[in-house]
Amino acid sequence: MSKYREYVHTLAQNEGKRRDYNVCQVCGSTVKPEGHHMIQYLYGGAANEENIITLCQKCHKQVHRGNIDIMKF
């Protein structure tokens, strides 16, 4: 990943978390908020806050395991 892409990625995650007040959009937790791309880069997902959902670390892991469908949120 290029340094510019890393910067844009981090900026988008921070903007998304700020928009969501650092609250997990699945369970409402404020512990260890993380920004997650709803549509991955691999599939053409943009690096902007509209493509970011804030998740706590626990829910983020569950999304990546396929146990939570974030497209419902």
Ranges under pLDDT 70 in the chain: 1
In Å, what is the CA distance from 69 to each residue of 16, 60, 61, 72?
18, 11, 12, 6
**What pLDDT is recorded for position 1?**
56
Both structure tokens of 35: 């920004």
Two tokens at 16? Answer: 């998304």
Q: Select the CATH number that applies to the domain covering 3-72 from these four: 3.30.200, 2.60.40, 1.10.30, 2.30.30.
A: 1.10.30
**pTM for the whole structure:** 0.88
pLDDT of residue 56: 98
Residue 37, strand partner residues: 52
* Rg of the chain over all Cα atoms, to the nearest angstrom: 12
